[in-house]
Amino acid sequence: MPKNYETNGAIRRRDMLRRRYLPDSAGMAPTPQEVSPLTRYVTDGIPQRPPLGATVADGLKFAEGASNRMVMSLYPAPSKPAIEELAEAWDLHPTIVEDLLHGQQRPKLDRYEDIIFIAIRSARYIDSREEVDFSEFHILMKPQAIAILCQDHQWIDGTSASSFSDPAQVDVRIKRLLADAELLSSGPRAVAYRLVDAIVDGFAPVLRGIAIDQEQIERQVFSGDAAVAERIYNLSQEIIDMQHTTSSVTEVVQRLNKDFIRSGMSEELRAYLDDVADHLTRDNTRVAEYRESLSQILNVNATLVAQRQNEDMKKISGWAAIIFAPTLVSSIYGMNFDIMPELHWAFGYPLALLAMISFTILLYWIFKRSKWM
């Protein structure tokens, strides 16, 4: 874990919040470079590239030409013109268009006549920064068409949109996820299931990373490190964000399952989606446990800090009393009075010194025995 965590934690957190929740002036995340949508015409589960110059409307015409066809589009870095073309061809509801243009949506599933709109977030754990990086995806489904938009210009595993600039060099993980004949032959809902399944599978490594951080924080708490409080706070924010994500995705999966039942999807595919729901249930339980455990760690840390402060106050009070004893004796005999018998006694000065030393030793012994020193 990074050594300078306690010095740059506040800056890191501020930048993270800005990156997650604040769109730029145009309402969309900045595009690193222009990346064309990747479109495939699918017949009987076999994908093929569309004709050169084919538009979104052409893809819909192809899919509607036969019941065994589907058009599938992936937008690695959706631009405003690309979204506007998609909206016009699909005749999207203005609310969907606004969500696509501005992003920053809470995971949800909405239905507009024959179009289903899904907003969902994936999560990756960045160990070097001890933070959870979220990516937003939008999924549009029609009976024979599906479009996937990467709102943060990266894939589920963090692959940048720039790697999609050449369709021939599309990452092998994308092919494994979507280029499956049996999957594609089942239609857009099967593709949506596979994407949701991959996103939910990505939650497990995130929770493992959080668990490791929490174990390290527990050791740091008992070591007396003063910087642990900030680290506890930052991790608690990550856990809260993760809890919001898993609970919201759970709602999406539940609504998607109802849609599968309504549309008559196969029992096998519904069983797979139920398995995804089971994984989410476990993830929600783990996140809740981590949050509760971190709250307990915070309470323990506050108790230990108060205990250390109490020990410090004991030492300060003890030394103050030790210093006060000789100061009291010296101040009495430092007063300018003539009638003080001890001043004219030959043993007065040595006796005063002896009294100061004796009081000092006695008080030190008492405080040491009481474990105040």
pLDDT at 201: 93
What mean pLDDT is predicted for residues 37-48? 87
Residue 188 located in a structural domain: no
Cβ pair 119, 108 in contact under 8 A: yes
pLDDT at 18: 35
Span 162-173, pLDDT tens digits: 777 665 556 555
Residues 165, 313: one domain?
A: no
Residue 95 located in a structural domain: yes
- Residue at which a domain ends, from 105, 140, 169: 169
Provide the CA 24 distance to its chain's centre, in angstroms. 21
Span 180-217, pLDDT tens digits: 777 888 889 999 999 999 999 999 999 999 999 988 88
* Residue closest to 287 by CA, chosen among 234, 245, 232: 245
- Per DSSP bridges, beta strands 108-112 and 115-126 are antiparallel
pLDDT at 100: 92
Res 60 pLDDT > 60: yes
Res 294 pLDDT > 60: yes
Residue 290 located in a structural domain: no
Contacts of 122 (CB under 8 A, 6+ apart): 134, 135, 137, 156, 198, 199, 202
Chain mean pLDDT for the chain: 81
CATH of the domain at 320: 1.20.58
Least confident of 55-64, 139-148, 213-222, 360-369: 360-369
* Residue closest to 243 by CA, chosen among 343, 344, 121, 160: 121
Largest CA distance in the chain: 123
Residue 273 located in a structural domain: no
Residue 362 located in a structural domain: yes
Q: How many domains is the chain built from?
A: 2
* Residue closest to 224 by CA, chosen among 342, 151, 156, 306: 306
Residue 184 located in a structural domain: no
- Residue at which a domain ends, from 117, 140, 169: 169
Contacts of 291 (CB under 8 A, 6+ apart): 236, 239, 240, 243
- Residue at which a domain ends, from 138, 169, 200: 169
pLDDT at 94: 92
Residues 163, 312: one domain?
A: no
- Per DSSP bridges, beta strands 69-75 and 145-150 are parallel
Burial status of residue 368 (CB atoms within 10 A of its CB: 0-12, 13-18, 19 or more): exposed
Query: Which domain covers residue 349, as residue numbers?
Result: 308-369
pLDDT at 317: 77
Residue whose tokens read 């997650």: 20
Residue 35 located in a structural domain: yes
Span 212-267, pLDDT tens digits: 998 888 888 887 777 788 888 888 899 999 999 999 999 999 999 998 888 888 88
The single-letter DSSP state of residue 225 is -
Res 32 pLDDT > 70: no
Tokens encoding 227 = 């910087």
Residue 217 located in a structural domain: no
Span 305-330, pLDDT tens digits: 777 767 767 777 777 877 877 777 77
Provide the CA 114 distance to its chain's centre, in angstroms. 34
